[in-house]
Amino acid sequence: MNFRKGAKVWVEDKHLAWVPAEITDCRGKQVQLQIGSGKTVLALPEKLFPRDADEEEEHGGVDDMTKLTYLNEPGVLYNLQRRYALNDIYVSLIPLATQVMFKIMLRSILIAVNPFTKLPHLYNVHMMEQYKGAPFGELSPHVFAVADVSYRAMMNEGRSQSILVSGESGAGKTETTKLIMQYLTFVGGRAAGDDRTVEQQVLESNPLLEAFGNARTVRNDNSSRFGKFVEIQFDANGRISGAAVRTYLLERSRVVQITDPERNYHCFYQLCASGKDAEKFKLGHPSHFHYLNQSKTYDLEGVSNAEEYMKTRRAMDIVGISHEEQEAIFRTLAAILHLGNVEFSPGREHDSSVVKDQKSTFHMQMAADLFRCDVNLLLATLCTRTIQTREGSIVKALDCNAAVASRDALAKTVYARLFDWLVDKINISVGQDPNSCVQIGVLDIYGFECFKHNSFEQFCINFANEKLQQHFNEHVFKMEQDEYKKEEINWSYIEFIDNQDVLDLNAETDRDNCSLG
Ligand SMILES: Nc1ncnc2c1ncn2[C@@H]1O[C@H](COP(=O)(O)OP(=O)(O)OP(=O)(O)O)[C@@H](O)[C@H]1O
């Protein structure tokens, strides 16, 4: 861009990302700028972005990003910041073609900034009533507006809809998904007599899945460690008639390995705080269990593990999990905790292992009792490996490290199977409507992750996110621009970063990993 003296621009700042500035001299290769604090700085013109003139700026920011004169990164961030300061956490992005044609939004985008504080006035019944049937864009941007537009599109066009909730860990995806489900059960629910209606079951499946699939991470006290796609089915009258949850990529490694200040899955701490039930399974404080005491964080701020246990039990009741099944679920959790406390020491034979001491023998017996299996069989499973050969099977002893690896592998597999079983149970209990031909799908998968040590799990998560990003690019940039062309709208082509290269590289790495593994 050609900048002239007096032009308002954004310039990069080490601490604040971008700061507003005004050009005071542009004769050299670098332009001279005066920033807000009165300081003069030099910058290359290609590093600058044009900025709306101060007098043009609306005090509280704009509710639709396309209203900005300059739609660039600093302008977008500044607008979000100004709205956030007034607790306006939602901003929409209404594509031009949609505005011109006044048609049902096909690709409506809502940006939500996590308020990290409760804003009950934004989500009460009164708000839901306001957004019900309101033309998109008439009221302030809101997650209910997106849910409403997809509901109406589904009803008017008779076509299923999808809502993709995306963002990095802690951005607010799960909360947003819950609000969408809450709104859809509001517009598509029946007058509830008892609390086991389909919509109530759909909503109550959330706390249940969270108890078993969420954990504290460094970024989020209630981080979903799995992805989920919730399909809500509707009948011809627009009433909810069934639902199905599909889950992806549960983080299995967390069951056996955690670092401070993270936690294992919530359900373990809830069970330890359950009083009589914990006693029955010979559990105690989480600090007594290896799978929980690798981190010293046992409690979450403002959360009572005992109360959460009761809530999980109630959610199980509502979802339709019998008391017998509930008992089996918690028995399995207790077995996993006892199993984790089994330690090994070298056996008499070379490279073999035995249960270390009396304490470990107790936990081994407990695990076997709770798994309802033979303790010697369980021991043999952990301390030996059976290799099939043409001549028959050979039993090979395992050293202590390998026995620990077997123990952890068993714990991870049992937990993952339990989680899948729970999801199946929810689906069977809530029920699917075979006659439903329309549904709204809400996808909430965990966002990009980059830790100090990244495992194959991070690779899979990030790969899935790249795929979604490409889907977004495809729909928001490519298809939208095709539509502009078709409708002969005058616009300038938008350059965007195509992530196809990243996907190709990931696919290659994935293939290599598979052939290695
Ligand atoms: N709309 C909201 N209103 C109030 N608080 C919110 C809202 N959205 C998010 N939060 C707060 O932020 C926390 C993190 O949000 P959430 O669990 O939805 O993030 P996420 O994007 O799903 O993270 P992850 O990928 O780790 O699962 C919530 O526990 C809640 O405290």
Q: Which of 81, 115, 145 is the last residue of a domain?
A: 81
447 is catalytic: yes
Residue from 114, 206, 225, 458 whose mutation best tests the ligand 1 pocket (most atoms within 8 A of CB): 114
* Residue 308 assigned to a binding site: no
ipTM for the complex shown:
0.99
pLDDT at 517 over 70: no
Cα→Cα distances 124→149, 183, 196, Å? 18, 10, 22
Which residues lie below 8 Å from residue 186, measured CB to CB, with a gap of 6+? 125, 128, 132
Locate 502 and state its tokens.
Answer: 């990243």
pLDDT at 161 over 90: yes
Give residue 515 CA to ligand 1 midpoint distance, Å. 38
DSSP E strands, 28-98: 31-35, 40-43, 49-50, 90-93
* Residue 168 assigned to a binding site: yes
pLDDT at 187 over 70: yes
pLDDT at 191 over 70: no
Q: Which of 63, 81, 99 is the last residue of a domain?
A: 81
Instruction: Give the CATH number for residue 70.
Output: 2.30.30.360
**Whole-angstrom Cα distance, residue 512 to residue 70?**
44
Residue from 87, 116, 266, 451 whose mutation best tests the ligand 1 pocket (most atoms within 8 A of CB): 116
Which residue from 266, 274, 253 is spatially nearest to 303, judged by alpha carbons? Answer: 266
Residue from 111, 175, 214 whose mutation best tests the ligand 1 pocket (most atoms within 8 A of CB): 175
Residue 306 lies in a domain: no
Average pLDDT over residues 371-399: 94
* Residue 174 assigned to a binding site: yes
**Whole-angstrom Cα distance, residue 211 to residue 422?**
11
Average pLDDT over residues 123-128: 95
Got the DSSP string for 466-510? HHHHHHHHIIIIIIHHHHHHHTT---PPPP----HHHHHHHHHHH
The reported pLDDT for the residue numbered 217 is: 92
Q: What string of H, E and C letters represents the secondary structure of 233-253?
A: EECCCCCEEEEEEEEECCCCH
Residue 341 lies in a domain: yes
Q: Which of 361, 390, 416 is the last residue of a domain?
A: 416
Average pLDDT over residues 206-221: 94
Residue 23 lies in a domain: yes
Each residue's pLDDT tens digit, 355-382? 999 999 999 999 999 999 999 999 999 9
**Whole-angstrom Cα distance, residue 78 to residue 9?**
13
The angle at the Cα of 129, spanning 127 to 135, to the nearest 5 degrees, equals: 95
Asked if 449 contacts 463 with a C-beta cutoff of 8 angstroms, the reply is no
Average pLDDT over residues 456-463: 87
Q: How many domains, the chain?
A: 2
**Whole-angstrom Cα distance, residue 434 to residue 493?**
45
Average pLDDT over residues 317-336: 95
Which residue from 462, 206, 161 is spatially nearest to 311, judged by alpha carbons? Answer: 206
Average pLDDT over residues 85-105: 64
Residue 76 lies in a domain: yes
Name the residue range of residue 49's domain: 8-81
Residue 155 lies in a domain: no
- The conformation of residue 106, written as its DSSP 8-state character, comes to S
Average pLDDT over residues 429-441: 90
Helical H runs in 31-142?
73-85, 96-101, 125-131
**Whole-angstrom Cα distance, residue 517 to residue 515?**
6
Give residue 173 CA to ligand 1 midpoint distance, Å. 6
Place 177 in a pLDDT band, splitting at 50, 70 and 90: very high
* Residue 170 assigned to a binding site: yes
449 is catalytic: yes
Ligand 1 atom closest to 112 (CA): 1
* Residue 169 assigned to a binding site: yes
Q: Kindly list the protein residues whose Cβ atom lies closer than 6 A to any atom of ligand 1.
A: 114-116, 118-119, 167, 169-175, 220, 222-224, 446-447
pLDDT at 91 over 80: yes
Residue 383 lies in a domain: yes
| Portion of the chain with pLDDT greater than 70, in percent | 92
Peptide bond preceding 261: is omega within 30 degrees of 0, i.e. cis? yes
Residue 372 lies in a domain: yes
Give residue 476 CA to ligand 1 midpoint distance, Å. 25
The angle at the Cα of 307, spanning 212 to 277, to the nearest 5 degrees, equals: 75
Average pLDDT of the chain is 88
Give residue 181 CA to ligand 1 midpoint distance, Å. 15
174 is catalytic: yes
Catalytic pick among 79, 185, 220, 465: 220
340 is catalytic: no
Ligand 1 atom closest to 446 (CA): 25
Q: Whose CA is nearest to atom 14 of ligand 1?
A: 170
Give residue 442 CA to ligand 1 midpoint distance, Å. 16
Residue 255 lies in a domain: no
Catalytic pick among 92, 98, 174, 506: 174
Locate 504 and state its tokens.
Answer: 């190709």
37 is catalytic: no
Give residue 320 CA to ligand 1 midpoint distance, Å. 27
Instruction: Give the CATH number for residue 366.
Output: 1.20.120.720
Asked if 170 contacts 223 with a C-beta cutoff of 8 angstroms, the reply is yes
Helix or strand (DSSP H, E) at 296 = none
